Amino acid sequence: MTAVLPDVGDVLDGRYQLLRDLGRGAAGAVFEARHLFTGRIVAVKMVMPRYRGANIPELRARLQREGRALATVHHPGVVEILDAGVTLDGSPFLVMELLQGRTLEGLITARGRLPIPSSVAVALQICDALDAVHKAGIVHRDVKPSNIVVLKSFGGHEVAKLVDFGIARLDQPSEDKLTARGAILGTPAYLAPEHLLQQDSEPHPASDVYSVGVTLYECIAGALPYSGNLGKILLSVAKEGPPSSISSFVHDIPQALAAVIDRSIAKSRADRYQTARELAAALEAAVPGEQPRIALLGPPPVPEDATADQRRRLLRAPYNTPVRITFGDSGIDGRTEDISERGVLVLSFVDLAPTNRVGLRFALPMDGKIAAVEADVRWVRHSDNPRSAGMRAIGLEFVAPPAELQSSVGRYVELMSDQ
């Protein structure tokens, strides 16, 4: 008998109604959901492998491990787990706070390079989160821009949160090893050399330090220390030795900051900062004065003489949901990054140019209904980073958007702007 996979509209465990698809990977899916009794909007993550032949027991074990890791750490820089349960077929699911922000990956793709103060501020906040994670006996093992979400707190300040503990390692006696010998876990471009070259199988806080250093390097330089496919990265790490100093890419970077970044991505673990706290202290010393703040989500400038209707139409808010893009006879998937009544920012591999017109299908905020609309391409930014393998940030303007779309987006943006 074929298992019926949960989908939008279904209710899990009699409590969580799935509202819209937030994204799917090779092993699982994440949905926006509403708790039927409290009305709280949450994110639900579950095992839903895309490919046949997936090791379902291992995937379920990893999801359960992720739940235990998140339940162990209580820190504002780590996504919060709220609940857990099982589906009808016995597969576990996790319930987490819903983060409406932009991934650091999306920000880098759209802008190329990020301002140094904001980049350092992100790194400091992630170091603070990792300090709590490491003190709880956990190594994340997959720190990278796509697992860092920038969002606004209720106080209006921008904050960075660390997500996806799916391959985290818990230092607990009851934990079984789930990784087969010789397997590489994590994303090669951000993976510490000792693990990439399989010289040390035991995760260490310094491994996460390396990943933070690479992420900070990418934010400021718009490039990676090592890039390409797995084989090329392995060859570069093994043969070329230490990566080039970030100062060779960014000439206006303070030398003290460049030295900290270079040390954080040292090839030898012994030459690196050993803890996230050590890296944070070095960053603070390299950037003296008032601690930098994240400023990456600011709204576009609004003319002082703009009418209330014009101001409302110019407002935008972070919004993440899968989108289907049709162009000619082809269709390709992408994801939205932010949205306004006038248009949407999309990340995708589709090859488009300004003046192209495309069709879009995506779930609306607030109610999750699927909207279909045409849109004109206003700008396209190709990432200069080989890691993205052709990822593009695409600015799209809606053509004659239906009233339902404008109403749903308008209410959502106003709600987000009030936070």
3-class DSSP assignment, residue 224: coil
Nearest to residue 194, comparing CAs of 131, 146, 237, 242? 237
- Rounded distance, CA 183 to CA 3, Å? 29
Q: How many other CB atoms are found less than 10 A from the CB of residue 5? A: 14
- Rounded distance, CA 52 to CA 58, Å? 14
> Is 142 known to be catalytic?
yes
Give residue 64's Cα distance to chain centre.
21
Nearest to residue 103, comparing CAs of 163, 164, 145? 145
- With residues binned 3-state (H G I as helix, E B as strand, rest as coil), the percentages for the chain, rounded to 5, are 30, 25, 40
User: Dihedrals φ, ψ of 237, to 5°?
Assistant: -65, -40
- Rounded distance, CA 69 to CA 163, Å? 11
Q: Which of 128, 142, 164, 338 is an active site residue?
A: 142
Give residue 13's Cα distance to chain centre.
28
Give residue 127's Cα distance to chain centre.
16
- Do the Cβ atoms of 167 and 186 come closer than 8 Å? yes
Please name the residues in contact with 344: beta carbons below 8 A apart, sequence gap of 6 or more. 319, 323, 336, 338, 360, 362, 375, 396, 398
DSSP string for residues in 258-293: HHHHHHHT-SSGGGS-SSHHHHHHHHHHHS-SSPP-
- Rounded distance, CA 55 to CA 92, Å? 15
- Do the Cβ atoms of 360 and 325 come closer than 8 Å? yes
Please give the structure tokens belonging to residue 265: 């991505």
Please give the structure tokens belonging to residue 35: 């708790």
Nearest to residue 78, comparing CAs of 163, 166, 18, 205? 163
Catalytic residues: 142
